[in-house]
Amino acid sequence: MAATATKRGFEIVDFDQIAGVPCPCGIARRGLAEARDVPFTVHRVEISADARRHYHRRQTETYYILECEPSAQLELDDELLPLHPGMCVLIRPLTRHRAVGRMTILNFVWPKFDPADEWCD
C-alpha cells in the first residue's frame, strides 16, 4: 500500500510507509501532502530533546501529544507548558515554539505544510 492512498471518497495515511525527514523538532512523517482537495497536512513527529525554536509566518499547527516523557514541555513565546499524552495545543502563526524533551505527536498543519514557511531564530 502506498503511504497515502486515495480510495473513493476518503484518504488513508500509513505513517509507517512514509519516509521520515529532518525538521527543527526531530523527524517528521508527513501525510496528505498530495491530496489536492485537502487544505491541511498531518504529520507524525518524533521529537528529539534538542528541538530548535522556530515559527511560521502563515501556517497554524496543532500538536496532539501521543506520548511524552514525564518532564516534557512545549515552549511557546518564552512560556513553558507542561505536557502529557492526550493534550492538544494550537500554535498560531508567528508564535515561537519548540518542544523540550522527547515526545511523539500528531501535527495538523493548515494550510498545507510548506518548508519555506519554517523560520528559525
- Phi then psi for residue 110, to 5 deg, are -130, 130
CATH number (domain holding residue 48): 2.60.120.10
60, part of any domain: yes
57, part of any domain: yes
Q: What tens digit of pLDDT does each residue of 30-42 get?
A: 999 999 999 999 9
Please give the model's pTM, rounded to 2 decimal places. 0.90
**pLDDT score for 70:** 96
Q: Per the structure, how many domains does the chain have? A: 1
Domain with 75, as residue range(s), is: 35-114
**pLDDT score for 1:** 42
Cis omega (within 30 of 0) for bond into 111: yes
Q: Which three cell numbers stand for residue 31?
A: 501525510
Chunked into runs of 10 residues, the chain (121 residues) has average pLDDT values of: 63 95 92 94 91 95 98 96 98 97 97 95 79
50, part of any domain: yes
